[in-house]
């Protein structure tokens, strides 16, 4: 088994989407919660273990108009924070 660079959402984490387009990610095992904006929600939904960060960034750029150039770094930082807090892992490759 080899770790890939494709992030995958921890299935224990709950995504609570609120009316104002903001959302809360809640890790029931640790009680940690993170608030996020609509771009964060879209990133979260794309973390299925099939795309690397670059792939996620390009999908986000396609779906959101006016995504600033810095968004690639911001998305990587966001995924990094989620990974540090156990919200996200990296897909394992059996090949």
Closest CA to 11 of 23, 1, 26, 33: 26
Q: Residues near 57 by Cβ (< 8 Å), separated by ≥ 6?
A: 71, 72, 75, 76
Smallest gap from Cβ 61 to another protein, in A, equals 28
- Site for another protein (CB under 8 A): which residue of 5, 12, 64, 73? 12
Which stretch in 10-18, 44-52, 53-61, 81-89 sits in contact with another protein by CB under 8 A?
Answer: 10-18
Q: Taking CB under 8 A as the rule, which mask of x and - marks residues 22-61 in contact with another protein?
A: --x-x-xx-x-x----------------------------
Name the E strands within 1-95.
Answer: 2-9, 13-17, 23-27, 32-36, 88-93
CB of 4 or CB of 22, closer to another protein: 22
């Amino acid at each position: 088994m080899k770790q890939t660079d494709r992030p995958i959402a921890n299935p224990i984490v709950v995504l609570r989407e609120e009316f104002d387009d903001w959302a809360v990610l809640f890790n029931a095992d640790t009680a940690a919660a993170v608030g996020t904006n609509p771009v964060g929600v879209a990133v979260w939904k794309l973390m299925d273990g099939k795309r690397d960060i670059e792939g996620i960034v390009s999908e986000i750029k396609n779906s959101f108009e006016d995504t600033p150039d810095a968004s690639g770094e911001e998305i990587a930082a966001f995924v990094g924070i989620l990974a540090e807090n156990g919200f996200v892992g990296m897909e394992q490759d059996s090949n």
